[in-house]
C-alpha cells in the first residue's frame, strides 16, 4: 500500500479529520482528548453500518483491530487503514512489529507510550485536541497537529559537539566535517543509545543528527532532554541517504519527483521505514557510477569538493562555521 489518504470520521456530535501518508502514524493525547471516541466511532460504523449514524470517508477501508486473536485476523486484511489503541498490549510486542513489517496495510496507533519495536517517523507523531470549528453546530471538531518536526529543534548556533545516530556512512561523513572545523563528533551506535551519549556531554552544546524517518520512539526522551537543557538541539532529516539524494548531485528527474512526494512511490509492504527506501533508491541510482553508495562504508567521493558542499547546503538550518 502506498499513497496519501484523507480520513474523515464523524457523527452529529463529533468530527475527526486526518491525513496519513506512511505505514505507521502515531496519535497521542491526554485523557479525555477524544482518542478513545475515535476508535469507538469506527467500531460503531463497522458493526452497524449506516444505522450507526457514523460517516467514514476515505479512499481506503478503515477499521479497528483488537483482541487476542489479532494475529489470526491481520493476515486476512489488505490495503486497509487499521486503527489500534493502547488498550491492545500487543502493539508493544516484537510479534506485532514483525506483522506490521510484512503487511500491506497502514496502521494508525493511538498511544501515549513509545513503541521502540516500530520505526515510525518523527513527522508522523500527532497530538489530538478539540477546537471550536463546529461550535455553532454543536459538533466538536477534533484536529490533529504535529507534536515534533524535523525543523523544530534546530538553530543557527554552532554546536561544540555533534552526536550522530549510527556508525556507518553517515557518521563517516559528519565526522570528517567536524574534524575539518574542529568540533567533536561521536557515534551513538544506534538510536536507542542517543540519550546516553547526549547525557555524557552535559557540559557541551550538542547537535544530535539522526534519521527522522525512524526515530519516533526515541523522540520523547530527546525532547525531555532538550526541555531540560536548551543547548541540546536536533537535526532530523529523513536519513543521510535522503540528504545525498536531496543535494541534486544524483542525476535524474525521477529522483527529484520521488523526493517531492515519496508517499506515492514507497510500498509499505516492501519498506518498513522510509529510511530503507531512500537507501535502496540511492544504491540503485549510483551503482554504475563513481558515486556508488555503500551504507556501511562511505565512498570517499562524497567527501570531495562539490559533492560535499552540495550535501552540506541541504542542511541550510545548521551553522557549521563561526558566524
Higher pLDDT, 261 or 234: 261
Judged against a pLDDT cut of 80, whether residue 110 lies above it is answered with yes
256 and 112 inside one domain: no
Specify the pLDDT at position 283.
Answer: 94
- Any domain includes 155: no
Which of residues 120, 146, 172 is at a domain's end?
146
138 and 168 inside one domain: no
Share the mean pLDDT of the chain. 87
- The model's confidence at residue 151, banded by pLDDT at 50, 70 and 90, is low
Phi, psi (rounded to 5 degrees) for 313: -65, -25
188 and 46 inside one domain: no
pTM higher than the cut 0.85: yes
- The model's confidence at residue 155, banded by pLDDT at 50, 70 and 90, is low
Which of residues 121, 146, 171 is at a domain's end?
146
Side-chain-side CA neighbours of residue 146 (13 Å) = 12
Hey, what's the cell of 280? 535502496
208 and 85 inside one domain: no
List the one residue out of 211, 213, 134, 129 whose CA is nearest residue 174. 211
- Any domain includes 319: no
- Any domain includes 153: no
141 and 183 inside one domain: no
- Any domain includes 32: yes
- Any domain includes 188: yes
Specify the pLDDT at position 137.
Answer: 40
Question: What DSSP string describes 183-239?
Answer: -EEEE-SSGGGHHHHHHTTTTS-EEEE--TTT-HHHHHHHHHHHHH-TTEEEE--S-
229 and 90 inside one domain: no
- Any domain includes 112: yes
Judged against a pLDDT cut of 90, whether residue 270 lies above it is answered with yes
Kindly report, residue by residue over 210-246, the tens digit of the pLDDT: 999 998 899 888 888 888 888 888 888 999 999 999 9
Specify the pLDDT at position 227.
Answer: 82
Which of residues 115, 146, 177 is at a domain's end?
146
- Any domain includes 101: yes
23 and 89 inside one domain: yes
Say how far residue 322 (Cα) sits from the centre of its chain. Answer: 31
State the Cα–Cα distance between residues 292 and 308, nearest whole angstrom: 15
264 and 179 inside one domain: yes
184 and 136 inside one domain: no
State the Cα–Cα distance between residues 35 and 151, nearest whole angstrom: 26
Range scoring the smallest mean pLDDT among 98-102, 107-111, 113-117, 228-232: 228-232
18 and 63 inside one domain: yes
Q: Which residues form the domain of 135?
A: 5-146
- The model's confidence at residue 126, banded by pLDDT at 50, 70 and 90, is confident
Kindly report, residue by residue over 190-202, the tens digit of the pLDDT: 988 998 988 888 7
Specify the pLDDT at position 319.
Answer: 65
Question: Structural domain tally of the chain?
Answer: 2
124 and 177 inside one domain: no
State the Cα–Cα distance between residues 122 and 190, nearest whole angstrom: 16
Specify the pLDDT at position 14.
Answer: 86
Side-chain-side CA neighbours of residue 196 (13 Å) = 7
Specify the pLDDT at position 203.
Answer: 79
- Any domain includes 154: no
Strand order in the sheet with 140-146: 55-57, 5-10, 14-20, 140-146, 125-131, 24-28, 106-110, 81-85, 62-64
60 and 139 inside one domain: yes
Amino acid at each position: 500500500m502506498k499513497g496519501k489518504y484523507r480520513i474523515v470520521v464523524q457523527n452529529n456530535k463529533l468530527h475527526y479529520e486526518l491525513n496519513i501518508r506512511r505505514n505507521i502514524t502515531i496519535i497521542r493525547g491526554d485523557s479525555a482528548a477524544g482518542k478513545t471516541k475515535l476508535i469507538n466511532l469506527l467500531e460503531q460504523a463497522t458493526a452497524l453500518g449506516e444505522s450507526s449514524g457514523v460517516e467514514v470517508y476515505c479512499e481506503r477501508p478503515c477499521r479497528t483491530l483488537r483482541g487476542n486473536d489479532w494475529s489470526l485476523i491481520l493476515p486476512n486484511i489488505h490495503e486497509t487503514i487499521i486503527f489500534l489503541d493502547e488498550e491492545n498490549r500487543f502493539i508493544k510486542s516484537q510479534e506485532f512489529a514483525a506483522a506490521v513489517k510484512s503487511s500491506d496495510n497502514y496502521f494508525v496507533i493511538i498511544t501515549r507510550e513509545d513503541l521502540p519495536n516500530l520505526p515510525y517517523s518523527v513527522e508522523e507523531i500527532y497530538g489530538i485536541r478539540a477546537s471550536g470549528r463546529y461550535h455553532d453546530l454543536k459538533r466538536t471538531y477534533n484536529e490533529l497537529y504535529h507534536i515534533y518536526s524535523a525543523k523544530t529543534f534546530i538553530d543557527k548556533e554552532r554546536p561544540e559537539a555533534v552526536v550522530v545516530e549510527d556508525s556507518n556512512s553517515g557518521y563517516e561523513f559528519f565526522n570528517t566535517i567536524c574534524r575539518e572545523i574542529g568540533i567533536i563528533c561521536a557515534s551513538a551506535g544506534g538510536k536507542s543509545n542517543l540519550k546516553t551519549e547526549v547525557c555524557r556531554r552535559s557540559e557541551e552544546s550538542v547537535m544530535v543528527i539522526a534519521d527522522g524517518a525512524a526515530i519516533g520512539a526515541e523522540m520523547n526522551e530527546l525532547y525531555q532532554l532538550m526541555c531540560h537543557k536548551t543547548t541540546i538541539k536536533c537535526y532530523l532529516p529523513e536519513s543521510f541517504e535522503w540528504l545525498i539524494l536531496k543535494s541534486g548531485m544524483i542525476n535524474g528527474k525521477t529522483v527529484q519527483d520521488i523526493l517531492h512526494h515519496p508517499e506515492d512511490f514507497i510500498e509499505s509492504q516492501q519498506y518498513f521505514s522510509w529510511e530503507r527506501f531512500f537507501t535502496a533508491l540511492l544504491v540503485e541510482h549510483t551503482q554504475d557510477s563513481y558515486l556508488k553508495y555503500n551504507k556501511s562504508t562511505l565512498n570517499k567521493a562524497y567527501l570531495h569538493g562539490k559533492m560535499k558542499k552540495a550535501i552540506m547546503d541541504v542542511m541550510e538550518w545548521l551553522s557549521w562555521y563561526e558566524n
